[in-house]
Amino acid sequence: MPTFTYKTTVKGKTQTGEIEADNEQGARAKLKQKNIRVDSLKAKSSFFSLEIGGGGKKKQKITERDVVIFTRQFSTMVDAGLPLVQCLEILGKQSDNQTFGNIIMDVKNGIEQGANLSDSMRRHPKVWDALYCNLVEAGEAGGILDTILSRLAAYIEKSLALKKKVKSAMVYPGAIVTVAFVVVAFLMIFVIPAFATMFEGSGGELPGPTAIVMMVSNFFQNQWYVIIGGPILFAMIFKRVYATEKGKVEIDRIALKLPVFGMLIRKVSVAKFTRTLGTLLSSGVPLIDAMDICARTSGNKIVERAILNTIESIKEGETIAAPLSREDVFPPMVIQMIDVGESAGALDGMLIKIADFYDEEVDTAVEGLTALLEPMLMVFLGSVVGFIVVAMYLPIFKMGENF
């Protein structure tokens, strides 16, 4: 009997296990009987043995843009009445990304062997996440797969746009800091030593600022390995700490409290949560299942814990708004709008409106952040270079006074 490995999330922690069954459907049925919610299920030895990106060729990276294009085209084909197998075969063969094309063909093979579309997709969680697969499953059950795929494409496009906004906010300050470091390093390694030779010949005592610059220059020349290795070591330690549950929680908590950036992260989290939940509910996914998916795809442990706590309260008979109000994550306006949406029986529509509003808020926050950082960084860079220049000319002025 084939063995299947599965992943599940229990109280925010990922757990793995194995189960024996005749096929994937049987494995899922057994896990369902044990009240185990499956995030991903993979056969150790079954007909799903296609080697992705085989032939000795290097695997191509599958981007979200690839998934968006696939989803849009898939939706159009299903709406036109083409059978699933034919749709997938066309999409697999015409894909510019060979790795993605092989995965699509693997999904097609699974359907031909009797698996559902959603179950076949779940075998590739790095391509189609829990949100995607659950929505596809809801579309299959409700006979509205084309509509669901269209909503998914719109959702992924919105998510991509949101990520681009956040990245644009980080690129500018990163570029300025990098340029500042390169300029300072050049001055310290190549320019300052020439002045140092000249000042040593004068025999006089150097002014305080000049002595500081000389000391920094010596450090750059003699302890360069610390300058290079320090950031690398910090990144390694950060990565290791963030890989632990406790470290991830503490870092995500600090991130939400950062000045300026913390508010941006909070707005992005609200936009992502409300859009994800609204999309799931409008597609017919049960509330508890939808909230569970939102928790697992939140990207922030503090937000995830808040949602998981809310799920427990909902199971005890509370509304969504009441337990969310007890968590110090979502703004009061969001909670009030959710409360209104619940009372009116139009929660999914209200959540999408909140997401649209916070998308605009992120736009405004990014523009404000860029406007704030630009003069601050320019002043910082100018101050550093100016201090170095003044420090180098102070001894020259002093020598001029002695003549």
Please say whether the beta carbons of 101 and 84 come within 8 A. Answer: no
Give domain 64-159's CATH number out of 3.30.70.100, 1.20.81.30, 2.30.30.100, 1.10.10.10: 1.20.81.30
- pLDDT over 60 (residue 231): yes
Query: Which of 8-12, 15-19, 380-384 is predicted with the least confidence, judged by mean pLDDT?
Result: 8-12
Average per-residue pLDDT in the chain? Answer: 81
Instruction: Supply the pLDDT for residue 401.
Output: 58
Q: What band does 25 get if pLDDT is binned at 50, 70 and 90?
A: low
Instruction: Supply the pLDDT for residue 39.
Output: 75
Instruction: Supply the pLDDT for residue 237.
Output: 92
Q: What is the pTM of this model?
A: 0.64
Instruction: Supply the pLDDT for residue 124.
Output: 87
Domain 163-402 - what CATH class?
mainly alpha
252-295 pLDDT tens trace = 889 888 887 788 888 888 888 888 888 888 878 888 888 888 88
Q: What is the mean pLDDT of residues 149-157?
A: 85
* Structural domain spans, the chain: 3-43, 64-159, 163-402
More confidently predicted of 400 and 100: 100
More confidently predicted of 71 and 50: 71
The reply to whether 64-159 and 163-402 are identical in fold is: yes
Residue 68 and residue 283: Cα distance in Å, rounded? 18
- pLDDT over 80 (residue 22): no
